[in-house]
Amino acid sequence: MLYQLEGSQAVARAIALCRPEVVCAYPITPQTHIVEGVGELVRSGQLKNCQYLNVESEMAAISVAIGSEAAGVRSYTATSSQGLLYMMEAVYNASGLELPIVMTLGNRAIGSPLNIWNDHADAMSARDAGWLMLFAENNQEAADLHIQAFKIAETLRLPVMVCMDGFILTHAYEKVDLPDQNEVDEFLPPYKPAFSLDPKHPCAIGAMVSPGDFMEVRYMAHRRQLEACSVIEKIGTEFNAKFKRNMGGLLRTYQIENAETVVVAMGSVLGTIKDTVDELNHMSGDDKFGVLSLVSYRPFPDKVICEALKNAKRVIVVEKALALGRGGILAHEVELALKGLDIEIITVVAGLGGRVITKAMLAEVFKQPKGNLIFLGLNEDVIRREYKTVLDERGA
């Protein structure tokens, strides 16, 4: 059924449709509206049979989820930015314990300086934490990804992080099609844990593992990540078949059949990119530009990406994160995926800390990129001024 909803509300309702049994909430902008929404659905009785805990920190939020998941019930929490970093120790722990927790990450920059606006620095900090990470392009996908996330997580026994851009999606009102409960129930069966804290069958979860076995444990976790690609694809296809919406999966392509230049990105900026690309193609009258929307950042689908981009001459990666002193993060991973192919790869670092990204700005770099590491909309005057004073002080 169609609704005009704030993104956070859409996600809250999607979560409720998945019947989580434990939800823990700790406020941090811009994720807050989501847990508020779930809380309201619990209190109003629309989400039944669910424990909603107001905890004292993100560390507690994820830890409560670890506990409840280990006790065998579907568990959910959400966070953003510093919150993710604050819980990071337990983020690694959750995947190590193979607990299929689902967590929404309302993407936000990481300070200092303090900045509450959107970018992907928080998500990137967790890229090796052993979680699956899916990025939503719009609120429809944000809602749909959560429904898929529980199924993927529970199939693979891995936690899943659904990333949606802070404010840009979490606070945006859009049309969202939410399925009926019975449809979701058909798609997502009740959670049956492989192991849990059960007095009838006691076992220990979280043993210390010595050098003699640790490599094997880690290698198996690596294998599960690789296997995840096919599971995510399969469940995406299942979802599309049932709900008639092409959402999720590993990635989506747009106009790449004859494209010389393909723009790769994740999250909400893709909409603006697509409009930009349409306009460019329209103006030039041909279709030199295409877009690749990456949904699954973890696992990183090298093969599928390579297959999709092998005919391109140039790949422009627009990303909302920066590896300081290194450049792009997503771009480097794309580069690895395309290793050996003669494709120019350009990194466009854009929208850090919520910096506005306009079609005009994008069109400019897409048409003629200057260099292969571009900072979109960077105020050169400020840099020149500030950097000069630095050099002067050093007496350089």
Partner 1 sequence: MFQIRIHGRGGQGVVTAAEMLSIAAFLEGKDAQAFPSFGSERMGAPVVAFCRISEKEIRSREPILNPDAIIVQDKTVIEPARAFDGIVDNGFVLINSPVDVETDLKNARVKCIGATEIALEQVGRPIPNAVLLGSFAALTGIIKIDSVIKAINTKFSGKIAEKNVKAAQVAYEKTLGER
Partner 2 sequence: MSSLTMGNRFGQHVSVQSSSNRPNTLTSGHRACQGCGEGLAARCAIDAAYTAAKGKIAVVNATGCLEVVSCAFPDNSWNVPWIHSLFGNTAAVASGVAAAFKNKGQTDVRVIAQGGDGGTTDIGMGCLSGMFDRNDDVLYICYDNQAYMNTGVQRSSATPALARTATTMPNSQYSGSDPETGKNVPDIAMAHGIPYVAVASVGNLHDLERKVAKAINIRGAKYIQIHCPCPLGWGFPTAETIRIARLALKSGMYPLFEAENGVLVGSTPIEDQIPVEEYLRIQKRFAHLFGKNAVPENVGILQKIANKNIEKYRLGGISNE
Partner 3 sequence: MSKPFASVVEARTSLANKTGSWRTVRPEYVHRLPPCNVTCPAGENIQQWLSLAQEGKFFEAWQEMVKNNPFPATMGRVCYHTCEKACNRGQYDGSVNINLIERSIGDMAIAKGWGFGKSDSHNDKKVLIVGSGPSGLTAAYFLRQFGYSVDLFESHKYLGGMMRYGVPKYRLPRKVLDAEIKRIQNCGVNMVCNKKVNNLKDELSNYDAIYLAIGASISSSVDLDVESGANIWSAVDLFQRIEDNPDNLPNLGKTVVVYGGGNTAIDAARTALRLGAKEVRIVYRRTINNMPAHETEIQDALAEGIEILCLRTIASVGQNKVILNKMNYDEESGILSKSGETEMIVADSVVLAVGQSVEDSIVRGIEGIVVTEKGVIEVDQCMMTGLKGVFAGGDAIPGKRTVTNAIGYGKKAAKCIDAFLQGREYIPNSKNEVANFKKLNTEYYQKDVRKEVSRLGNLDFNEKDVSYSDKELIHESMRCFSCGNCFHCDNCYSYCPDNAIIKHEDGTLEINYDYCKGCGICASECPCGAIKMIS
Q: Give the residues lining the site for partner 3 (CB under 8 A).
A: 96-98, 157, 192, 194-195, 202-207, 209, 213-214, 216-217, 220
Q: How far apart are CA 395 and CA 82, in angstroms?
A: 37
* Closest by CA position to 130, among listed 166, 164, 89: 89
* Closest by CA position to 69, among listed 101, 25, 24: 101
- Asked if residue 173 binds partner 1 (CB under 8 A), the reply is yes
Distances, alpha carbon 9 to alpha carbons 61, 123, 369, in Å: 20, 21, 38
- Asked if residue 363 binds partner 1 (CB under 8 A), the reply is no
Helix (H) / strand (E) element for 5: namely strand 2-6
> In whole angstroms, how close is the CB of 27 to partner 1 at the nearest point?
13
Q: What are phi and psi of 19, to 5 degrees?
A: 50, 55
Nearest residue (CB) to partner 3, 205 versus 226: 205
Segment 128 to 157, residues that bind partner 1, using CB under 8 A: 138
* Closest by CA position to 302, among listed 226, 361, 376, 233: 226
Please choose which of partner 1, partner 2, partner 3, none residue 271 contacts, taking the beta carbon within 5 to 8 angstroms, the exact cut-off set by kind.
partner 1
Please choose which of partner 2, partner 1, partner 3, none residue 49 contacts, taking the beta carbon within 5 to 8 angstroms, the exact cut-off set by kind.
partner 2
Q: What tokens were used for 168?
A: 């840009």
Task: Give the contacts of 74 (CB within 8 A, at least 6 positions apart).
Answer: 18, 19, 20, 21, 22, 150, 154, 191
In angstroms and rounded to an integer, the radius of gyration of the C-alpha atoms of the chain is 21
Q: Which of 354, 365, 366, 374 binds partner 1 (CB under 8 A)?
A: 354
Distance of CA 84 to the CA centre of its chain: 13
Nearest residue (CB) to partner 3, 157 versus 171: 157
- Asked if residue 36 binds partner 1 (CB under 8 A), the reply is no
Please choose which of partner 2, partner 1, partner 3, none residue 194 contacts, taking the beta carbon within 5 to 8 angstroms, the exact cut-off set by kind.
partner 3
> Residue 57 in contact with residue 26, Cβ under 8 Å?
yes
Q: Which of 175, 222, 385, 388 binds partner 1 (CB under 8 A)?
A: 175
Nearest residue (CB) to partner 1, 174 versus 227: 174
Please choose which of partner 1, partner 2, partner 3, none residue 64 contacts, taking the beta carbon within 5 to 8 angstroms, the exact cut-off set by kind.
partner 2
Q: How far apart are CA 272 and CA 357, in angstroms?
A: 8
Q: Return the SS3 of 293.
A: strand
Please choose which of partner 1, partner 2, partner 3, none residue 220 contacts, taking the beta carbon within 5 to 8 angstroms, the exact cut-off set by kind.
partner 3
Nearest residue (CB) to partner 2, 77 versus 170: 77
What is the torsional sign of CA 34, 63, 298, 116?
A: positive
Residues that bind partner 2 (CB under 8 A): 21-22, 24, 49-51, 53-57, 59-60, 63-73, 75, 89-90, 93, 97, 196-199, 201-210, 213
Task: Give the contacts of 25 (CB within 8 A, at least 6 positions apart).
Answer: 35, 36, 38, 39, 52, 53, 54, 55, 61, 77, 78
- Asked if residue 214 binds partner 1 (CB under 8 A), the reply is no
Strand 2-6 with 22-25, pairing: unpaired
Q: What tokens were used for 193?
A: 């844990």
- Helices 7-17, 32-43: axis angle to 10 degrees equals 50
Size of residue set near partner 1 by CB under 8 A? 29
> In whole angstroms, how close is the CB of 310 to partner 3 at the nearest point?
37
- Asked if residue 367 binds partner 1 (CB under 8 A), the reply is no
> In whole angstroms, how close is the CB of 3 to partner 2 at the nearest point?
28
Binding track, positions 264-283, relative to partner 1; x by CB under 8 A? ----xxxxx-xx--------
> In whole angstroms, how close is the CB of 151 to partner 2 at the nearest point?
20
Nearest residue (CB) to partner 2, 73 versus 348: 73
> In whole angstroms, how close is the CB of 188 to partner 3 at the nearest point?
18
Q: Which residues bind partner 1 (CB under 8 A)?
A: 2, 4, 6, 29-30, 116-118, 138, 166-168, 171-175, 268-272, 274-275, 354, 356-359
